């Protein structure tokens, strides 16, 4: 499986849901807090047309926002099972 990077914040409920979803399925991912990393915030703004949407997921060189949290879309985008 390709490396997954999740651009997130500590206060975001959707970020917590994505982390739980991935963890329950044993999917490894790297977390980048955009409140602590200005370069990461710039990436999120660029790929979301100036919007600070978290979580924003990067995999295989492509980005997508998962806000609001949608487990069906997340599973489809990452090619992983919906049910753990």
The three state secondary structure string of 30-70 is: EEEECCCCHHHHHHHHHHCCCCCCCCEEEECCEEEECCCCC
Orientation of helix 13-24 relative to helix 71-78, angle to 10°: 50
pLDDT in tens, 21-67: 999 999 999 999 999 999 999 999 999 999 999 999 999 999 999 99
**23 lies in some domain:** yes
Residue 20 covered by a domain: yes
Is 47 part of a structural domain of the chain? yes
pLDDT of residue 74: 96
By residue count, the chain amounts to: 84
Confidence of residue 82 (pLDDT cuts 50, 70, 90): confident
Q: List the domain range (segments joined by +) for residue 11.
A: 4-78
> Is the pLDDT confidence value at 84 over 80?
no
Domain count, the chain: 1
Is the residue at 53 inside a domain?
yes
> Does residue 69 belong to any structural domain of this protein?
yes
Report pLDDT digits (tens) over 1-12: 789 999 999 999
Is residue 83 situated within a structural domain? no
SS3 7: strand
For position 39, which CATH number holds? 3.40.30.10
In terms of C-beta density within 10 A (0-12 exposed, 13-18 middle, 19 or more buried), how is residue 60 classed? exposed
Q: What's the pLDDT score for residue 83? A: 85
Q: Identify the pLDDT of residue 1.
A: 75
């Amino acid at each position: 499986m390709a490396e997954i990077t999740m651009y997130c914040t500590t206060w975001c409920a959707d970020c917590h849901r994505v982390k739980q979803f991935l963890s329950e399925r044993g999917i490894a991912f790297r977390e980048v807090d955009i409140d602590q990393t200005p370069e990461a915030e710039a990436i999120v703004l660029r790929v979301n047309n100036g919007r600070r949407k978290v979580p924003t997921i990067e995999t295989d060189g492509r980005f997508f926002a998962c806000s609001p949290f949608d487990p069906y879309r997340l599973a489809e985008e990452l090619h992983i099972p919906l049910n753990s």
